[in-house]
Amino acid sequence: MSRTRPEFIDTHAHMNLPEFRLDTVKALHRAEHAGVRRVVNIGTQIDSSRRAIALAEQHEGLFATVGVHPHDASSCDAETIAELRRLCEHPKVVAVGEVGLDFYRDLSPRPVQVEVFKRLIELAWETSLPIIVHDREADEEVLTILEAECPDDMGGVLHCYSAGPDLLERTLALGFHIGIDGPVTYTTAGALRKVAARAPLDRILLETDCPYLAPKGRDRNQNEPAFLPDIAAKIAEVRGLTPTEVAAATTANALRLFPRLSG
């Protein structure tokens, strides 16, 4: 029996950060071997956004986003926004992000996080790019801001979805996708598996968030894009699908949300 190999897209990786300590070429080779042919590296401030673009220029399968993580919101001024706007013109920049709120670590004051989040939603709108949203322990605030500030046709993803089943409806009503990561494989993640089982298949994206959040059984300190199929396998298990079906659906979702991935 001949079978086409599933193709995956890692829609949220940080090979552009110093914490990703693996050799880029070797990691991409392992990813390719696992069927992960495209990887989106996510900017967290100006330098890492530039680095994501530089990597995308060096490697065909790599793409970039530009944004300011809520941790770095304090460092975001008018000049930062102007530079991000310029970077958005790069053809391999597929989205604005990550942006959002992180009330778990509170590394920037909350009012500043909120201001920067709103300003970057505006930037996504101005540049006609979808948005990648980070939300940690700020579910209500993030959803309220998105509901108030996002135009109807602005595509987006609540990345590393952790809000549980209750807030899923509001996320879907926004037209947003949810990003599912390694934690779906963790023994303790029953609520997230419920979300993975219940969310419409055409709204799910796969993401490693590497080097963080390695799937169960992998090297905890060094996640990489090659481990993405572990996440697909778990989603397939809870939905009664094959991993190939999950790969096909999530890859189609990523290409629809991020048109620049198609080149």
Closest to Zn ion by CB, 99 or 235: 99
Q: Which stretch binds Zn ion (CB under 5 A): 41-49, 70-78, 112-120, 165-173?
A: 41-49
* Distance of closest approach, residue 245 Cβ to Zn ion, in angstroms: 26
User: 166 is written with which tokens?
Assistant: 């209750």
Spatial distance between the Cα atoms of 90 and 74, rounded to a whole number of angstroms: 25
* Distance of closest approach, residue 135 Cβ to Zn ion, in angstroms: 8
Closest to Zn ion by CB, 134 or 239: 134
Closest to Zn ion by CB, 72 or 98: 98
User: In the chain, where does DSSP find H-type helix?
Assistant: 24-33, 46-58, 78-87, 110-127, 139-149, 168-173, 190-198, 228-239, 243-257
* Distance of closest approach, residue 58 Cβ to Zn ion, in angstroms: 21
* Distance of closest approach, residue 81 Cβ to Zn ion, in angstroms: 20
Cα–chain center distance at 66: 12
**51 contacts Zn ion (rule: CB under 5 A):** no
- What is the pattern of x (binds Zn ion, CB under 5 A) and - over residues 91-130? -------x--------------------------------
- Phi-psi bin for 241: left (phi > 0), alpha (psi -120 to 50), beta? beta
Closest to Zn ion by CB, 134 or 177: 134
Helix (H) or strand (E) holding 132: strand 131-136
Identified binder of Zn ion from the candidate list 51, 134, 177, 239, rule CB under 5 A: 134
Closest to Zn ion by CB, 11 or 243: 11
* Distance of closest approach, residue 44 Cβ to Zn ion, in angstroms: 7
Cα–chain center distance at 69: 12
Closest to Zn ion by CB, 72 or 230: 72
Nearest to 96 by CA among 67, 117, 68: 67
DSSP per-residue letters across 211-249: TSSPPTTS-TT---GGGHHHHHHHHHHHHT--HHHHHHH
Spatial distance between the Cα atoms of 56 and 92, rounded to a whole number of angstroms: 7
- Residues contributing to the site for Zn ion (CB under 5 A): 42, 98, 134
